[in-house]
Structure 1
Amino acid sequence: MVSFSHRDAGTPEATWTEAFAGRALPTMPDDVDHLIVVAAHPDDETLGAAGLMTRVAARGGAVTVLVVTDGEGSHPDSPTHRPDELAHLRREEATRALAELSPTIRPRFLGIPDGETDAARDEIARGIRDALQADPGSTRRLVVSPWQGDGHRDHRVVGEVVDEVCSHVGIPCRAYPIWLWHWGSPADVPWDEIEIVDLSGTEIDSKRAATRMHRSQVEPLSAAPGDEVMLHEGMQQHFDRSFEVFIRAPREARSLTRGFFDAFYRRNGDDPWGFDSRWYEQRKREITMATLPRARYRSALELGCSTGALTALLAERCDALLAVDIADAPLAVAARRLGERSDVRLARAALPGEWPGGEFDLVVLSEVGYYWDTTDLTAAVGRIVSSLTPDGHLIACHWRHPVAEYPLSGDDVHAALHAEGSLTRLVRHDEEDFILEVFAGAAARSVANETGLVA
């Protein structure tokens, strides 16, 4: 961890002003109906996310604040306040500060001892899960918490637990720095992962008023040694900006897990992507089927079949079809859609680790590859090639717009397919919204060649 003291003068805000002035930074999406703010200590939530909380609450969204410790260790040498007195005082300050932002904000205090978060990871995780489950009707949720690189052990631990829980249940999360602004320099900032929330005048005023409620931190407890101010004026200036800073997970994220998809279908029902209701999806399926070079296939493998909308069309062109997905919920929908067909088999598999055996003259990779990280994508491409018959075809189709929770983009997936030297591209359909390509194995021929139109 970084070694620093709150008594240090720290990095001047003028340094940060100059660093931000020369950068065009993306805006963090804030259209959420439930914001969960996790704080390691009382006042973290106000310093890091008061403006965002004010905005979400003003729009009618739910805001839950989970304060992990009571921050009783802020003044270990105080001659006037015992740790239990500081804990009580800081809870009261946080409650008043949040009420200043909005009376609808719901604070929860875990009461874990200050400085002992590492031993309480399971308890913190339960608190986060409880906060997420308290508003099951929400479909757009976001969790924000202290940045893991903030230089403070409690901030690191809380950030790690939030990241783990959110990755498992499929909820997006962001991190807010606190002490980085004090000890760090622009060279310490992960600029490629930075997003900002521009604040209105009202939101700035609300944040300033709420910050003043944390009197034990922004003012001395007394004139006695040991009661010095924790957040001196120079430090406070970092949180008086016209914007708040959040850090998203690095682009090289982990593959999405079964837990992500189980939670996704629980929240969004049987047709979360609108396969059955959107013309976009219907048209894309028709284009996909039209690009298949062969009228009929002996044995096909569909990777990530979801609710079976494309599976039903593929079944009409295949003697045998194996359709796999990572989650039970979409497979149940697919089973109802397909009925009792002896030529279609549905199976659950976490790819690429649980790869099905056999050879296939058609492999379908539609809207799946960006769920994997680079390592898993590389493994999947290798297994696809190994599963293809010499005359087989691979059809790949992927959404091209960025999705924060996905480890890769659609274009990343197709770049990996092009990098596989044994595949030859037969078809490329390129749109702003999606890319669709058909690749062939070593012995595959063009449609005209296969059907005898050319020699």
Structure 2
Amino acid sequence: MVTFSHHDRSTSTNVWSAQGRDDLPLLPSALPLGPGNRVLLVAAHPDDETLGAGGLIRQALAAGSDVHVLMCSSGEASHPDSPTRTPEDLAKLRQQELAAALGVLTVDTPAGTLSWDFLGLPDGKLRTAREQISDAVEQHISAQIGLIVSTYRHDGHADHEVLGEIAAELAATHEVALLEFPLWYWHWADPGTDQRWRHWHRLPLHPDDQATKQAAAAEHRSQVAPLSEKAGDERLLGADFVAHFELPYEVFRYTPAGMKDSGAATSVFDALYRRHRDPWNYVDSPYEQRKRLITMASLQRQHYGSVLELGCSIGIATAELAHRSGQLIGVDASPAALEQARKNTADSDHVTLVQATVPQDWPELPPASHDLVVISEIGYYLAADELHQLLQLIAQVLRPGGELLLCHWLHQVEGWSLTGTEVHEIAQDLGWPTLVEHRERDFRLEIYQRPDTESDVP
């Protein structure tokens, strides 16, 4: 989990622009906006909706979409040390500010209607109310929602992240398009080393919409100005932070309708493994048997001190890797798959199995602690930005000279955005030497070696 404070110096808009944020690709013009296509925006605190998606709200309304803002908390914990305002005072104030801001956003947008309601959940503790939020979002999706908009699921703020996770899960389940807007990510992230944002999209704003959005943001006075001159009432959102939301565009992470990413992995694959103990026929398939033989023959060492296998499934390959490792950690998103993996590796005391969805649930591993990382047949279940993040995490845990093995099916994987070829092309962005390259009609296998020098590691 990222740790930061709003008092920290913000990564400036100039730094982001120099890295290319101004040139991100445009959002597809085929977004489901217009009469009959309702938009649901799920936000944690009043001002999230305006800063992150005020321009989108205006464009949706102008296109004829009805927009509903589901506000989960009233933001009453924004000034915990205020000597002039109680949490109850702040809740009422911020609800009034939201109404004023949304009123500004509706000026000259007569086609669609804008509505909102509060769930009244505790600010800063939304993860404890996950089921309640999920139920509320589910109810709105059933009412002909064509687009869900939420805070980014890796924004660094716990409230923002749980809403993004819920939105991602339900958008995948109902095959609804999803837009996630970063807020604090712009504040703490380093655009030179964190590559996720390079896969996102811009929504250009007309100058009138840009000006109206800034006027709406100014209505959130409790956040953009001091409550009073007393200590504890200081301005929460500094000018450097707010500058990220005064640009002639907004940035969104876009998941098209019908497409899934890691946010759906646990539910999708656990259901699959509970229906079929071996859905890909790992045990008996000649293809799987031959692929494992080639994989094991491609490894550059007979023995590895420490191995990390991501996507270990029911543990068939894990059992073979165990014979060539001193310690092995197998990770999978599906608890049902891991139940079988434990049986298939029961005679290997040095194997540890972990239920986690990567990259977001990355296990706590010491830096430079592994000799081999294996990613087989799971790269296309991640979106491109998630795969970039995963590769960065792998770079941190591999020892100098350690190996990264990738092996993927080369045919289309229905419902997921990446192909096996694209997975390997993204991995080449690491710039690491290739030790093994094997391609045939059905799959591609490559082994990359982490450079020996720290300066060569991203």
* Same fold? TM cut 0.5: yes
TM-score, L = length of structure 1 = 0.57
The answer on whether the counterparts of 1:68 and 1:124 sit within 8 Å (CA) in structure 2 is yes
Question: In structure 2, what is the equivalent of residue 20 of structure 1?
Answer: 20
CA-CA distance at 1:17 after TM superposition: 2.2
**Quick one: distance in 2 between partners of 1:147 and 1:22?**
19
The percentage of aligned residue pairs carrying the same residue is 35
1:254–1:183 CA distance, 2 compared to 1 (3 A): closer
Question: In structure 1, what is the equivalent of residue 48 of structure 2?
Answer: 44
Question: In structure 2, what is the equivalent of residue 84 of structure 1?
Answer: 88
Matched to 2:261, the amino acid is: A
SS in 1 for 2:101: helix
TM-score, L = length of structure 2 = 0.57
The answer on whether the counterparts of 2:380 and 2:420 sit within 8 Å (CA) in structure 1 is no
Question: In structure 2, what is the equivalent of residue 253 of structure 1?
Answer: 261
CA-to-partner distance for each residue in 1:49-85, whole Å, 9 max, x for gaps?
Answer: 0000100101111111111111100000000000011
2:416 counterpart of 1:406: yes
1:419 aligned to 425, 439, 442, which one?
442
**Quick one: distance in 1 between partners of 2:97 and 2:211?**
18
1:144–1:374 CA distance, 2 compared to 1 (3 A): farther
The answer on whether the counterparts of 2:380 and 2:416 sit within 8 Å (CA) in structure 1 is no
Matched to 2:223, the amino acid is: Q
The answer on whether the counterparts of 2:380 and 2:419 sit within 8 Å (CA) in structure 1 is no
Equivalences for residues 137-156 of structure 1 within 5 A: 141-156=146-161
Question: In structure 2, what is the equivalent of residue 443 of structure 1?
Answer: none
Question: In structure 2, what is the equivalent of residue 121 of structure 1?
Answer: 130
SS in 2 for 1:80: coil
2:176 aligned to 171, 178, 195, which one?
171
Matched to 2:133, the amino acid is: I
**Quick one: distance in 2 between partners of 1:209 and 1:22?**
22
Matched to 1:3, the amino acid is: T
1:38–1:377 CA distance, 2 compared to 1 (3 A): closer
Question: In structure 1, what is the equivalent of residue 121 of structure 2?
Answer: 112
Matched to 1:11, the amino acid is: T
**Quick one: distance in 1 between partners of 2:129 and 2:44?**
12
- Structure of greater Rg: 1
CA-to-partner distance for each residue in 1:336-386, whole Å, 9 max, x for gaps?
Answer: xxxxxxxxxxxxx9898398xxx9xxxxxxxxxxxxx945999xxxxxxxx
**Quick one: distance in 2 between partners of 1:377 and 1:25?**
21
CA-to-partner distance for each residue in 1:133-158, whole Å, 9 max, x for gaps?
Answer: 23x3x5xx111111122111111111
Question: In structure 2, what is the equivalent of residue 9 of structure 1?
Answer: 9
Question: In structure 1, what is the equivalent of residue 65 of structure 2?
Answer: 61
Question: In structure 1, what is the equivalent of residue 110 of structure 2?
Answer: none
Matched to 2:190, the amino acid is: S
**Quick one: distance in 2 between partners of 1:108 and 1:350?**
42
Q: CA RMSD in A?
A: 3.8
1:198–1:215 CA distance, 2 compared to 1 (3 A): same
The answer on whether the counterparts of 1:254 and 1:407 sit within 8 Å (CA) in structure 2 is no
Equivalences for residues 7-406 of structure 1 within 5 A: 7-20=7-20, 23-29=23-29, 30-32=31-33, 33-102=37-106, 104-134=113-143, 136=144, 141-186=146-191, 187-248=193-254, 253=261, 353=279, 374-375=377-378, 406=416
SS in 2 for 1:64: strand
**Quick one: distance in 1 between partners of 2:177 and 2:421?**
22
The answer on whether the counterparts of 1:197 and 1:245 sit within 8 Å (CA) in structure 2 is yes
CA-to-partner distance for each residue in 1:63-115, whole Å, 9 max, x for gaps?
Answer: 11111111100000000000011011111111111121117211121110011
Matched to 1:213, the amino acid is: E
**Quick one: distance in 1 between partners of 2:205 and 2:276?**
42
CA-to-partner distance for each residue in 1:295-318, whole Å, 9 max, x for gaps?
Answer: xxxxxxxxxxxxxxxxxxxxxxxx
**Quick one: distance in 1 between partners of 2:234 and 2:263?**
47
**Quick one: distance in 2 between partners of 1:196 and 1:351?**
43
Matched to 1:243, the amino acid is: Y
The answer on whether the counterparts of 1:4 and 1:183 sit within 8 Å (CA) in structure 2 is yes
Question: How many residue pairs are counted as aligned between the two chains?
Answer: 295
